[in-house]
């Protein structure tokens, strides 16, 4: 492989993906595996990551599964170290695991939903970064990709816990990009728009269509792999001068006024 080709692949590099049992996390694991990366699929114990990893290995790819609840600080440290030991390296971290957190501001459950949203969607990101950092520092192309949302850039009614946590992810991304830039580690953030995943599965197709026609430039929901390809692009060694960015992958939702 030529030097230039080597910069455009994750082949032989290792990536840890959170929330890899469904939706965009799963698609990310599949896209990285197909590119030749060693993929650590992590998700809640009840998720199908073991089966997904087995399917990837059956196709000749390098993939292993680890049960990991991203709100468990000790487990984050343990699993991150196990992944780096298993693959002999860790080059990229994809903070993807997420939950919905709709709640009106005066609802009795608001504090509980707020705390959960911040724990899963924001605090977990910094903890995974801190656990992964010693390993990313040993890579010649350390990469962090945080999955936020267009809800970090605008807001849906009654979605303030989610919007606040996701906006926090954009701030965390910029701050860590500035802090880690001198070490050559890049930190970027993707803001997916409406994507066909487990999270949006309960939205009736007709409602999805009305929303997409009215709000997106491309007039459709996105597919999980359309986000995964951007994640892969951000992790490539070639993407060495791109950091601190917040990139909507949203079918043009943020670009469209009318």
Show which residues are catalytic.
Answer: 162
- Asked if residues 48 and 70 have their Cβ atoms less than 8 Å apart, the reply is no
Binding mask 146-185 for ligand NAD (x = CB under 6 A): -x-x------------------------------------
- Quick one: which of 161, 168, 194, 248 contacts ligand NAD (CB under 6 A)? 194
Euclidean distance between CA atoms 95 and 116, whole angstroms: 16
User: x/- binding map, residues 36-65, to ligand NAD, per CB under 6 A?
Assistant: -------xx--x------------------
Pick from 164, 60, 54, 161: nearest CA to 116 = 161
Please say whether the dihedral angle defined by the alpha carbons of residues 191, 193, 194 and 195, taken in this order, is positive or negative. negative
Residues 158 and 161: their CA atoms lie apart, in Å, by 8
> What is the nearest approach in angstroms of ligand NAD to the Cβ of residue 6?
30
Site for ligand NAD in 64-83 (CB under 6 A): 68-71
Asked if residues 239 and 186 have their Cβ atoms less than 8 Å apart, the reply is: yes
CB 214 → ligand NAD: shortest distance, Å?
16
Q: Does 248 bind ligand NAD (CB under 6 A)?
A: no
Dihedrals phi, psi of 206, to nearest 5 degrees: -65, -40
Binding residues for ligand NAD, rule: CB under 6 A, are 18-19, 21-25, 43-44, 47, 68-71, 96-99, 120, 147, 149, 192, 194-195, 197-200
């Amino acid at each position: 492989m030529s030097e230039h080709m080597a910069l455009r692949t994750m082949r032989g590099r290792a990536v840890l993906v959170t929330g890899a049992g469904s939706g965009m996390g799963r698609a990310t694991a599949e896209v990285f595996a197909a590119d030749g990366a060693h993929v650590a699929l992590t998700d809640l114990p009840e998720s199908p990551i073991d089966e997904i990893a087995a399917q990837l290995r059956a196709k000749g790819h390098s993939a292993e599964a680890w049960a990991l609840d991203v709100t468990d600080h000790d487990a984050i440290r343990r699993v991150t170290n196990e992944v780096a030991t298993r693959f002999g390296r860790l080059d990229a971290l994809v903070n993807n695991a997420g939950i919905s957190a709709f709640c009106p501001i005066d609802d009795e459950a608001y504090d509980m939903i707020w705390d959960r949203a911040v724990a899963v969607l924001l605090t977990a990101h910094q903890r995974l970064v801190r656990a992964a950092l010693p390993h990313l520092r040993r890579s010649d192309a350390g990469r962090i990709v945080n999955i936020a949302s267009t809800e970090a850039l605008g807001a849906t009614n009654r979605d303030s816990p989610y919007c606040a946590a996701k906006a926090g992810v954009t701030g965390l991304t910029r701050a860590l990009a500035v802090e880690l830039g001198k070490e050559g580690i890049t930190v970027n953030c993707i803001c997916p728009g409406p994507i066909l995943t487990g999270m949006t599965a309960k939205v009736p197709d007709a409602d999805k269509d009305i929303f997409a026609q009215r709000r997106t430039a491309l007039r459709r929901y996105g597919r999980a792999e359309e986000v995964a390809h951007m994640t892969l692009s951000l992790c490539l060694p070639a993407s060495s001068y791109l950091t601190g960015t917040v990139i909507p992958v949203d079918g043009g939702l943020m670009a469209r006024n009318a």
